Structure 1
Amino acid sequence: MKHSIVVVEDDVNIRNIVSAYLRKDGYQVTVVESGEEALTIWKNDPPDMWILDIMLPGIDGYELCKTIRQESEVPIIIISAKDEELDKILGLELGGDDYLTKPFSPREMVARVKRLFKRVDRTRPEKKDEKKKLQAGSLVLYPNERLVLWEGEEVEITAKEFEILNIFITNQNRAFSREELLTKVWGEDYFGSDRAVDDLIKRLRKKIDGLPVETVWGYGYRLKIEKEESK
């Protein structure tokens, strides 16, 4: 299956030429002319690579690059008419993987796309496991996406709520003391009361009706999952 690429460029001529060369090489290409359109794609159907022009109407390429990079390591190539060293440094510091200055050869663009995909595929052999799934009964966690599902429905949770669920689901039926959970979730430097753990569990139980986190009286908590009997 060929990689998908989104080209964000407000110059129609450059947009058409770049997309034509990429499609000729077999890539699945989507073209948009604004940062707002790009963000819609990012939220609904993110591609395998972005090619971003810097000078865009509304949300510019720098802001778009920064937004994407906050959530993903997807490859980003920045293209710009600006040839100043400072502009290149800014683009790379915001998360761009490569920088091309206009005017550029479409063949060079395709070559850089190929090279970047090769580098990404080589350095991320775990790519096939990006959708790693952890499950305990009706509770499902996707660690890389920090996504939690309960009975098939997404649950909005905080970072600490996710961390404690991740601990439980990877150690099913093991009892953790409040002190252990406090250290694992809040860190060794936390000096607050272990009541923070109780409050966190209380919030989770309120958000997830039926969550099988069991209180171990006088000790702590555990995620109790009944093991299926062998047939």
Structure 2
Amino acid sequence: MNQSIYIVEDDANIRDIVKAYLVKEGYRVTLLKDAEEAWERAQDGQPDMWILDIMLPGMDGYELCKRIRQVSEVPIIIISAKDEEVDKILGLELGSDDYLTKPFSPRELVARIKRLFKRAEAQPVLKQATDDILRLGALEIDQAGRIVHWHDKEIDVTSKEFDMLVIFTKQPNRAFSREELLTFVWGNDYFGSDRAVDDLVKRLRKKLEHLPIETVWGYGYRLEYEEQQ
């Protein structure tokens, strides 16, 4: 095992308890008390996983999550006392892979960490198998570089927005249910509602104006495409 985990948490008691459980499981743990220190560490190299609190002094966990995701695809777990659905959706949209509400069981955290590492281990094989350019009309997706162009303009998208675009582009005109999209984009362990899908589609429609992501009422969404003759 021996994977490294950075824990960014300003509560010393929580930091120490979580570290004790993770070290017992064989992980290498680094404790950081604020986002600024964590971001400085990130410039020198990434751990195998981040665990971020939201309510941090100075820069909050959301901003740190966003910055980390811009330079790394390692798994991120957010832990927070905020238990509103909108907070969970925001964390996931900014690039986190999981969201755990305080108070939580350290054993549950360990279980989620193990699931995310298993998923990450399979990801390089997937990326290698799909290392190409997807094109659909004015939409171009570089899967290896995770870059999106729309009408020859590069569009800044989040990790989840990118994954949903790839799904739609690979199977145009297919109707996907909200449940399917939740599984494809967030994985089988997602705990929230399908409102996350609606929010993601809304963001894509705003960023890629006139991209024909159509609503299939009572079911889900599809990306409509008619090939030019």
Could you tell me which residue of structure 2 aligns to residue 205 of structure 1?
A: none
Could you tell me which residue of structure 2 aligns to residue 43 of structure 1?
A: 43
| SS of equivalent to 1:63 | helix
Q: Distance in 2 between matches of 1:125 and 1:37?
A: 33
Deviation at 1:87, TM superposition (A): 0.3
Question: Deviations for 1:107-128, whole angstroms, at most 9, x for unmatched residues?
Answer: 0000000000001112223799
The residue type paired with residue 21 of structure 1 is: Y
Q: Distance in 2 between matches of 1:30 and 1:119?
A: 22
Contact 2:2 2:28 (8 Å CA) reproduced: yes
Could you tell me which residue of structure 2 aligns to residue 9 of structure 1?
A: 9
Q: Runs of 5+ in structure 2 lacking a partner?
A: 129-143, 146-229
Could you tell me which residue of structure 1 aligns to residue 115 of structure 2?
A: 115
The residue type paired with residue 23 of structure 2 is: R
The residue type paired with residue 34 of structure 1 is: D
Q: Distance in 2 between matches of 1:75 and 1:127?
A: 16
Question: Deviations for 1:113-149, whole angstroms, at most 9, x for unmatched residues?
Answer: 0000001112223799xxxxxxxxxxxxxx97xxxxx
| SS of equivalent to 2:100 | strand
Q: Distance in 2 between matches of 1:45 and 1:126?
A: 24
| SS of equivalent to 1:47 | coil
Could you tell me which residue of structure 1 aligns to residue 31 of structure 2?
A: 31
The residue type paired with residue 67 of structure 2 is: T
Could you tell me which residue of structure 2 aligns to residue 55 of structure 1?
A: 55
Could you tell me which residue of structure 1 aligns to residue 65 of structure 2?
A: 65
Q: Distance in 1 between matches of 2:107 and 2:58?
A: 29
Could you tell me which residue of structure 2 aligns to residue 167 of structure 1?
A: none
Runs of 4+ in 1 over 4 A off after TM superposition: none
Larger Rg: 1
Deviation at 1:46, TM superposition (A): 1.4
Matches within 5 A, 1:131-142: none
| SS of equivalent to 1:78 | strand
Q: Distance in 1 between matches of 2:125 and 2:37?
A: 31
Cα 1:24–1:93 shift into 2, 3 Å: same
TM-score relative to the length of structure 1 = 0.54
Question: Deviations for 1:70-103, whole angstroms, at most 9, x for unmatched residues?
Answer: 1111100000000000000000000000000000
Q: Distance in 2 between matches of 1:70 and 1:123?
A: 18
Could you tell me which residue of structure 2 aligns to residue 125 of structure 1?
A: 125
Deviation at 1:40, TM superposition (A): 1.2
Q: Distance in 1 between matches of 2:127 and 2:49?
A: 14
The residue type paired with residue 107 of structure 1 is: R
Q: Distance in 1 between matches of 2:127 and 2:121?
A: 8
Could you tell me which residue of structure 2 aligns to residue 21 of structure 1?
A: 21
Contact 1:5 1:47 (8 Å CA) reproduced: yes
Q: Distance in 2 between matches of 1:90 and 1:4?
A: 26
| SS of equivalent to 2:50 | strand
Could you tell me which residue of structure 2 aligns to residue 93 of structure 1?
A: 93
Could you tell me which residue of structure 2 aligns to residue 83 of structure 1?
A: 83
The residue type paired with residue 8 of structure 2 is: V
The residue type paired with residue 121 of structure 2 is: D
Contact 1:121 1:127 (8 Å CA) reproduced: no
Deviation at 1:45, TM superposition (A): 2.6
